[in-house]
């Protein structure tokens, strides 16, 4: 695990703790207003060592999902992946090693757009897969 990833994970955990602290202290002793989810199910497992570090998820009309896979924290190339309800995976786009695909969305016409974070100015920006 790189120092950069450890730092990012530490910052993320700290932010979650700090953000939840006021709510937790304000609601101590009170019953939750909404139902608390206690049982969850893993729909699709990921292998971090294979570069599968999902960052963003977009739901599609056909019940599939499109995921942005960072890649860089595991030293792999980032990918934009569609996962069908059956679990079948289709790689829609692959980025350059060291870059990260940091988000994706679907336009009203069905076009998928994804963001590439890169030190290379010619790679950084919003992209769409070519048909």
Question: Is the confidence at residue 5, as pLDDT, over 80?
Answer: no
CA-CA-CA-CA dihedral for 2, 7, 10, 15, to nearest 10: -140
> At residue 3, does pLDDT exceed 50?
no
Express each pLDDT in 32-75 by its tens digit: 678 888 888 887 888 887 778 899 999 999 999 999 998 888 88
Say what the pLDDT of residue 30 is: 67
CB 116 within 8 A of CB 103: no
84 has a pLDDT exceeding 80? yes
Q: Would you say residue 2 has pLDDT above 60?
A: no
């Amino acid at each position: 695990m790189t120092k950069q990833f450890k730092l990012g994970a530490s910052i993320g955990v700290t932010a979650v703790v700090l953000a939840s602290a006021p709510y937790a202290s304000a609601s101590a002793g009170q019953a939750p207003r909404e139902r608390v989810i206690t049982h969850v199910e893993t729909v699709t497992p990921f292998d971090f060592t294979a570069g599968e570090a999902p960052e963003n998820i977009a739901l599609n009309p056909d019940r599939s999902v499109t995921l942005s896979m960072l890649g860089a924290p595991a030293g792999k190339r980032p990918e934009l992946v569609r996962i069908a309800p059956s679990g079948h995976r289709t790689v829609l786009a692959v980025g350059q090693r060291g870059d990260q695909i940091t988000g994706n969305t679907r336009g009203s016409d069905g076009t998928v757009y994804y963001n590439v974070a890169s030190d290379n100015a010619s790679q950084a920006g919003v992209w769409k897969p070519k048909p």
